[in-house]
Structure formats: C-alpha cells, structure tokens
Amino acid sequence: MSDANCAVITRFYQAFQRLDAEAMVACYSDDIVFSDPVFGTLRGRDAGDMWRMLTSRAKDFSLTFDQVRADLHSGCAHWVATYLFSQTGRTVVNDIQARFVIRDGQICQHDDSFDLWRWSRQALGAPGLLLGWSPMLQNKVRQQACNGLRAFQRSQGSATA
C-alpha cells in the first residue's frame, strides 16, 4: 500500500468536501484524463473546469468518502455525494466508485462509475424513472452536461478549443 498515493486521494476528497475546486485540481496532473457516465471523457483543463463548475454551483451539498486504497501506481475510493440538482430542485444521493492512476504524486487518470439510471430517477423524477435506462435520455443528459461545461468555461474565459 502506498501511503503517499492514499494521501493524494484523501486530499482530493477533503478538498471536495470543502468545495475547494482549486485544491482538487492541484491533485491532478496537467494531462489528467477524467471519465464518468454523465460527462464522458474530459482531458486536462476540461476536467478541472468541470470541478470548478460543479463546486461553484453546489447547493445543499455534502460528501462522504471511504475505502481509500492505493499501491505504487493506482488507487480507488468509494464516495457518496448528496446535493440539490439545480435543474429540477430534486435531491440526489449519488453513490460512486472511483479508480485512479497516479504518477509522480499526482492523479493522471480518474474514472468514476455509478448507475446513471439510478441518478436520473433521482435528478429528473418521472422522466428519469421511465426513460433513464434509455440511450436517448442518457445521451441527452450527457449533451446537457457538456453544454453546461462549455457555457461555464465561456463565462470564465477558459474555454478550450
């Protein structure tokens, strides 16, 4: 077990608990590759901007994390975020498994996995319950997330080409 790599994962989630996106991003390498079921794959600045956007908009937010483990090159953690989904005003409790690749003391790959249908049932209500399993609704959720990220980046003057 690598104590240093456990420490970087722990720092990341402690910063997330404080909604401190800059401290979160400081745990990432410049060439970070992030992925999850909503945003898909984000690279570099896009990954950091996603956390900046999410933390700046968080309402009624809390986060717990546990099961932090790491070896010399990788790690994992379990985390649960509870928050108000702003588009619908509904509370979401998202249960997530995270996997990391760590290089030179920084996270260079971060993969979050969770049940998108379960998320959509909570976030969207009846439409999520009825259609959250469907590729059509899942693709719409992904497109809205990416559009939201691009709009946030434009508002911050940090959009990538």
Q: What are the tens digits of pLDDT across the range 72-110?
A: 999 999 999 999 988 888 999 999 999 999 999 999 999
Q: Which has the minimum average pLDDT: 14-23, 117-126, 135-144?
A: 135-144
- Output the six-digit token pair for 96: 């997530």
Tell me the C-alpha distance between 67 and 44, whole Å: 26
State phi, psi for 106 to the nearest 5 degrees.
-130, 150
C-beta neighbour count of 122 within 10 angstroms: 17
Report d(CA 38, CA 95) in Å as an integer. Answer: 14
Q: Identify the pLDDT of residue 129.
A: 63
On whether the CB atoms of residues 149 and 51 are closer than 8 A, the answer is no
What pLDDT score does 140 carry?
Answer: 80
- pLDDT tens per residue, range 106-137: 999 999 999 988 998 898 887 766 666 666 67
State both tokens at 95.
């249960």
Residue 71: pLDDT above 90? yes
| Percentage of the residues of the chain whose pLDDT score is greater than 90 | 71
Give the helix/strand (H/E) hosting 32: strand 28-36
Q: In percent, how much of the chain has pLDDT > 70?
A: 91
Taking all residues of the chain, what is their mean pLDDT, rounded to a whole number? Answer: 91
pLDDT band for 161, please (50, 70, 90 cuts): very low
Confidence at residue 144, expressed as pLDDT on a 0 to 100 scale: 86
